[in-house]
Structure 1
């Protein structure tokens, strides 16, 4: 299919028959983001077949590897799901039964299920981690094991933005002797041929696309300035304020370590491919997850309000429930967005696996707003094309 061009934007790539409206929507959202120097990738699989593969913008192509921030959590918790499926991990065992040091300061009764639901009360440390420590999951885990929680463990929920992968990863390491990063490479990335890395190899540095800081409009700047912010509150602790997370992720040594909460790099193709591999046969290999495991990890955890973000709980086990943001998805959808605007998920109801990346932080952080339009267009195309395109 030829490039789809406008006055200022050239969209490259292909879409399957029936998905032309997705290409049009991708073009439209990039035109709307011109003030942000757009650069983005969009990939979609349906029942294992790629139906959308698009990219556009400054310095980016289909093989580029942007930082995906918290979309990394989906990769890390896929490893946890596989270990639960294997019987190596038990969701209802206490974290301390795997990791005895974790029991300090009244945390001994917390289960792995509750930890995966962001219910531990260990969103960070007062005073913050150094930038070097923030990149090292082992250091984070050791510091948090001895810390008193910010609320009674298991009773409330709050987004453990920069540390959840270190905490669940330490459980994985204690149970298997291997890191999440090693197991993801061996069980997911390499066998399925995915360009998604929890630890970017040095030789791939030329393919890395540096993340650019947010470029808010005057109206958005005013909205940010009007928000009350407590420099000692839970959001500041959880997001390790005042760390510049753009400069931090653009540091090669951080990406080489690949911290399991936020340190992954990968293409939209790889994000979508990873989720496609959880749904069914992909790349000539069987599905990674059984339907009952997918359903277990997608089920809503603790209903309530997030102590960090003040959002309504939208987590299953380690994964976000994207239906809360995109109503056209099925109840059993699971995935994770990322701070610069990335979004990735699987939707068993429609058979789609979706991956979106962008190179500039989207306002106000988290899944970029254009995902609403893109997801709606993808689902409409998928449900109008029973064969998958």
Structure 2
């Protein structure tokens, strides 16, 4: 039985509703997800589907889509002049210099070039929830490659590293700056640290359901327990991290680690990127065009030594057009999340996009259905 489609689309975006309905029709009967989009600061798509209890205000763990919110804060501080991209990390954080890391710049760190994807022994759950604890341990860690010579996805730690620089430079946590300058002024449902009052709106992540063929494919080439990818995803720890379950842990939701701990709706994801590049509710765009362009410029492209795949990064953001959707404008900034979420801003078309789903998608990362949804929204936006 196919889920009913709820919500609205603006005139000219009817094809987006049809595409979303097609996604829901081919998914499991328990599908639950949301889609939201803005064009030049105006909400044009607001759709959701799911069992009773699901609506546009439902909140989901968005995993690495959290990195987009974290690095919007960094971009704002660079724009303010509080942070300088080409200063060494040690200018803000002297202790970081140990074990040969002293020459690394903030720019290189944001581009996943630090070689500091984890620690030799891994983190506990409580440590992963606490960005300051992660940062303290990483300051003493020898990098896994010479900083600046290669790049690899700092999956669980990049927000702790950049967050420590924010704290040293401002005296405020990244979470506090996000709340004061981004989330609260726009009323966004995109939390780095979910208040207890909003807990009833949270929908627990549901695990992947794989076909036998998918199970066989995933098991065919397991990574070694001390490989870079295992270290980056904390699978070598005494209590290995089960990525799918992270947002289901209240300590993760409560503390909101800036790499993976965000809780949001599709409205919150799209609203954040709309505010980044467009006037919204009579408020000027958070980012000046030059700032958005610098953070969206390609900085690390090619073989990612952690994931073993082709990847493309700007500064803190994924290069969305290069990585997934080449029909989007150059300089599109955003970040996907492991369960399937996707969120970005395309300054050239004025499009801001957010998608969430409850069940962890296969194979992980931006869910495959985003291809059709993004294309439909982008085509409608251009036609406007």
TM-score tier after normalising by the smaller chain length: over 0.9
Within a 5 Å distance, the mapping from 1:268-279 to structure 2 comes to 268-279=266-277
Within a 5 Å distance, the mapping from 1:245-264 to structure 2 comes to 245-264=243-262
Which residue in 1 is equivalent to 2:47?
54
Within a 5 Å distance, the mapping from 1:244-323 to structure 2 comes to 244-323=242-321
Which residue in 1 is equivalent to 2:23?
29
Give the whole-Å Cα distance in 1 for the aligned partners of 2:231 and 2:85: 27
Give the whole-Å Cα distance in 1 for the aligned partners of 2:265 and 2:301: 33
Which residue in 2 is equivalent to 1:372?
371
Within a 5 Å distance, the mapping from 1:1-389 to structure 2 comes to 7-34=1-28, 37-58=30-51, 59-241=53-235, 242-324=240-322, 325-385=324-384
Q: TM-score, normalising length from structure 1? A: 0.95
Give the whole-Å Cα distance in 1 for the aligned partners of 2:164 and 2:296: 22
- Give 5+ residue unaligned stretches, structure 2: none
> Any conservation in 1 of the 2:17–2:47 contact (CA below 8 Å)?
yes
CA drift at 1:302: 2.8
- Deviation per residue, 1:237-277 (Å, 9 max, x gap): 00111312233321112211000000000110111011001
Q: TM-score, normalising length from structure 2? A: 0.97
Give the whole-Å Cα distance in 2 for the aligned partners of 1:219 and 1:26: 26
Specify the SS of the correspondent of 1:42.
strand
> Any conservation in 1 of the 2:204–2:358 contact (CA below 8 Å)?
yes
Runs of 4+ displaced beyond 6 Å: none
- Deviation per residue, 1:136-189 (Å, 9 max, x gap): 100000000011000000111000000000000000000000000000000000
TM-align CA RMSD: 1.0
How many residues end up aligned between the 2 structures? 378
CA drift at 1:95: 0.3
- Deviation per residue, 1:14-64 (Å, 9 max, x gap): 0011111111111111222216x2100000000010110000013421000
Give the whole-Å Cα distance in 1 for the aligned partners of 2:300 and 2:126: 33
Specify the SS of the correspondent of 1:10.
coil
Specify the SS of the correspondent of 1:54.
strand
Greater alpha carbon shift after TM alignment, 220-229 vs 199-208: 220-229
Which residue in 2 is equivalent to 1:4?
none
> Any conservation in 2 of the 1:105–1:147 contact (CA below 8 Å)?
yes
CA drift at 1:216: 1.2
- Deviation per residue, 1:76-129 (Å, 9 max, x gap): 000000000000000000001100000000000000000000000010112321
> Any conservation in 1 of the 2:117–2:231 contact (CA below 8 Å)?
yes
- Give 5+ residue unaligned stretches, structure 1: 1-6
